[in-house]
Amino acid sequence: MAEKTLTWVETKKKFPAGADSSMMQSWLSDLWKRSATDLTKFFGMDTAVPKGGKQYVMAVHQSEFSKIKKVLSGNRPPTLPKTASKKYEVYWGPVAANTMSSAKEFFFLLVDAKTENLIIKIKLIITGKQPHGTQSTTKSKKAGGAKKKPTVTISTAQQEAVTLLIVQQILNKGTKHYDTFEDMYNDPKSGLKKIHSKLNAKPLELNDWWQSFNAQFEGIPALVTKKKLKADHYEVFNLDGTGVTDKQHNFMKFISDLITKGTGGSLDEASIKMFAKKDSWNPADIWLLDTEGNPKGTYDKIKTKLELANTIAEINLIMQQAYRDKIIKGISLKKNRGTAAQLIFEEVNLFNMHMKGTLPDVEIIEIQFDPHYNESTKVFSSVTSTIILREKTSKKLYNLAFRSNQTALNNITFEFKEQGMPAQLGKIPKDRMLQAISNLKVTGVPKKFPAVSDHTDYKKAHWNKVTRQVNSFLGKIPKWDVGGKSNQYKITYAVWRKTAIVKTAEEFKKHKAAKTSENKAASWKVFNKNLEASIKKHGIIKGNSIMMQMVDFLYLFAALQNNTSKAQFTKFLSNLFYWAQKKGQEWQFGPFGKMA
């Protein structure tokens, strides 16, 4: 390799411009991500990546090569559609290596599907070079070894503003286009540094937020290729009242006021009362507007139709057509997994999508709830509980977390998240959930969400009733666990192995799981006694109020299960799951695209 070696971020700049290079970069980024490659141990040549079949060499440490090999042995290159003009191929060497397990080097090829001509050829070899961020062995030890992952704090408003500019520079008719996200960030005229001056904290390959935005930058062109978005098409990119690129077209304010207040429109009274907040109808964070239209005046005509609509259903139909025709396109933004190949774009509530009866049910397969109590301080340890749901068709797993995420004492929050994804799916719509409970017309089910104000002292009758039903509910769930941060049984492997007969890590894991389960049951058995003692000593504090709210929330589900049929309970859970995502046309949710 050349004397100077490059990081992965630097190496990507060596690729030539064009869709072919973007395809290869996206696949390699995804490979590093799936194999959990430590990119401080990656090295690229300080030369341009050639086209036409000439070889470019990359290198990684043996440890990282083994990780990549493991992923490749079970996952061959991504399969492109049969109609695609390109294809990926992977080979390994040396010649004597008959199987991949014996590989000492890999060749990653992008090939023309018709002519079989090489477009890009990458050779991956093993090296012993010191990781990026270290100097000599002595200096490395003094400095603490390889560079640490940077901490980047960013608000939701900043996230949306950065993404808006990324989308704008690709899709706007008159905006400058950049070759890389780093080029865009470093150009003062792009506006990115004004939004967040410390977004490019080094090393970039370990900066999660940088990688997330870079994935959008590199992945959006693929969405254009798939015709989900249209390049050089839109003139106005509308965020909110402070992020409007054209003061004449503040669509966010227009549609928000129309949906929630009826301002400037013709909605009937029932429609105006349907959604108190715009995001309860449509969670779009940004709007892409073709205000010139095709033919000219189309956008203004759509706005007039929206103003004349009498119902939310009419508005949704108009918005569906405007989305399809690429005149008005709302996009909901979620943090992604960090590579362009993993960027997801899902279209929601468009025409025949997500109609009544077409959404799969979900079921509870596990509850993580830890009643651990500290006898010395007389407070409960846990502030987070989770109901784990499985979608019956895809078998994907989702967490419904109910927890305290603040240092002060406040009401707990309720939010869904898909396992393996960095962003939340959405919060439980409390008003809609309580209305659904009321519509069931069953007795014995709480008609409100748990809150700090519910309890001012210990009420024995209430907690006897609640814990009895929650105990029955936990017994019916396939699995009740305490989660990974429990204090139910604290012992290190080193201490345990001193008295253990079979001193393996697997035996330690079994032992700890058994003792944790045993202690969990013991804690729950004396929960009421512990709660009473905690309140007697402290009054209502975070150390007991959060636990009371979590148990009361479990009681709500236990009471629902006890007072409804299995079909009703399943439907209630499933509806709650989709309400949080604003998915399903039977509930009058609006059309949008979700980028995650």
Helices (H), 397-541: 430-440, 460-476, 493-496, 505-525, 527-538
- Interatomic CA distance for residues 126 and 575, integer angstroms: 52
- Interatomic CA distance for residues 245 and 236, integer angstroms: 6
Report whether 139 contacts 112 (CB < 8 A).
no
The reported pLDDT for the residue numbered 79 is: 56
The edge-to-edge listing of strands for the beta sheet with 413-418 is: 424-427, 413-418, 397-403, 384-391, 362-368, 480-481
Long-range contacts of 528-533 (CB under 8 A, 24+ apart): 528/460, 528/463, 528/464, 528/467, 530/371, 530/373, 530/378, 530/380, 531/380, 531/458, 531/463, 532/458, 532/460, 533/378
The reported pLDDT for the residue numbered 565 is: 96
Long-range contacts of 111-116 (CB under 8 A, 24+ apart): 111/86, 111/87, 112/85, 112/86, 113/80, 113/84, 113/85, 113/86, 113/87, 114/85
Report whether 225 contacts 19 (CB < 8 A).
yes
- Interatomic CA distance for residues 227 and 299, integer angstroms: 20
- Interatomic CA distance for residues 389 and 391, integer angstroms: 7
Tokens of 371: 């009643």
- Whether the upstream peptide bond of residue 283 has omega within 30° of 0, thus cis, is no
The reported pLDDT for the residue numbered 246 is: 54
Q: Which residues fall within 8 angstroms of residue 21, CB to CB, at 6 or more apart? A: 15, 49, 120
Question: Sign (positive/negative) of CA torsion 323, 327, 328, 334?
Answer: positive
pLDDT tens string for the chain (596 positions)? 445 689 999 999 999 988 888 888 988 988 888 888 889 899 999 999 998 878 899 999 988 998 898 888 765 555 555 567 888 888 888 755 567 777 888 889 888 888 888 899 999 998 888 888 654 433 333 444 556 889 999 998 899 899 989 998 888 877 788 888 999 999 999 999 999 999 999 988 889 899 999 989 988 988 888 888 888 888 888 876 454 555 567 899 999 999 999 999 999 999 999 999 999 999 999 999 998 877 888 999 999 999 999 999 999 999 999 999 999 999 999 888 877 677 889 999 998 889 888 999 999 999 999 999 999 999 999 999 999 999 999 999 999 999 998 889 999 999 999 998 888 899 999 999 999 999 999 999 999 999 999 999 999 999 999 999 999 999 999 999 998 888 899 888 889 888 888 888 889 889 989 999 999 999 999 999 999 999 999 999 999 999 999 999 999 999 999 999 999 999 999 999 999 999 999 999 999 999 99
The reported pLDDT for the residue numbered 210 is: 93
Q: Is 15 exposed, middle or buried, given 0-12, 13-18 or 19+ CB atoms closer than 10 A?
A: buried
The reported pLDDT for the residue numbered 409 is: 94
Q: Tell me, rounded to whole angstroms, the distance of Cα 484 from its chain centroid.
A: 20
- Phi, psi dihedrals of residue 82, rounded to the nearest 5°: -60, -25
Amino acid at 356: K
Tokens of 304: 């007039």
Q: Is 107 exposed, middle or buried, given 0-12, 13-18 or 19+ CB atoms closer than 10 A?
A: middle
Give the residue from 46, 73, 43, 47 showing the smallest Cα distance to 60: 43
Please list, residue by residue across 268-292, b when 16 or more beta carbons sit within 10 angstroms of its beta carbon and e when fewer do: eeebbebbeebbbbbbbbbbbbbbb
- Interatomic CA distance for residues 476 and 385, integer angstroms: 17
- Interatomic CA distance for residues 208 and 211, integer angstroms: 5
Question: How is residue 144 annotated by DSSP?
Answer: T
Question: Sign (positive/negative) of CA torsion 272, 273, 276, 282?
Answer: negative
The reported pLDDT for the residue numbered 137 is: 38
Give the residue from 95, 75, 78, 94 showing the smallest Cα distance to 86: 78
Q: In three state form, how does the secondary structure of 255-316 look?
A: HHHHHHHCCCCCCCHHHHCCCCCHHHHCCCCEEEECCCCCCCCHHHHHHHHHHHCCCHHHHH
Q: What is the DSSP string of 542-586?
A: HHHHHHHHHHHHHHHHHHHHHHS-HHHHHHHHHHHHHHHHT--GG
- Phi, psi dihedrals of residue 328, rounded to the nearest 5°: -135, 115
Q: What is the DSSP string of 490-514?
A: ---HHHHTTT-SS--HHHHHHHHHH
Helix, coil or strand: residue 418: strand
Q: Which residues fall within 8 angstroms of residue 57, CB to CB, at 6 or more apart? A: 1, 45, 122, 123, 124, 125
Q: Is 220 exposed, middle or buried, given 0-12, 13-18 or 19+ CB atoms closer than 10 A?
A: buried
* CA-CA-CA-CA dihedral for 41, 46, 48, 50, to nearest 10: -60
Amino acid at 495: V
- Interatomic CA distance for residues 187 and 340, integer angstroms: 22
| 450, β-bridge pairs | none
Helix, coil or strand: residue 521: helix
- Phi, psi dihedrals of residue 366, rounded to the nearest 5°: -160, 150
Q: What is the DSSP string of 167-203?
A: HHHHHBSSSPP-SSHHHHHH-GGG-HHHH-TTTTPSP
- Interatomic CA distance for residues 234 and 237, integer angstroms: 8
Q: Is 352 exposed, middle or buried, given 0-12, 13-18 or 19+ CB atoms closer than 10 A?
A: exposed
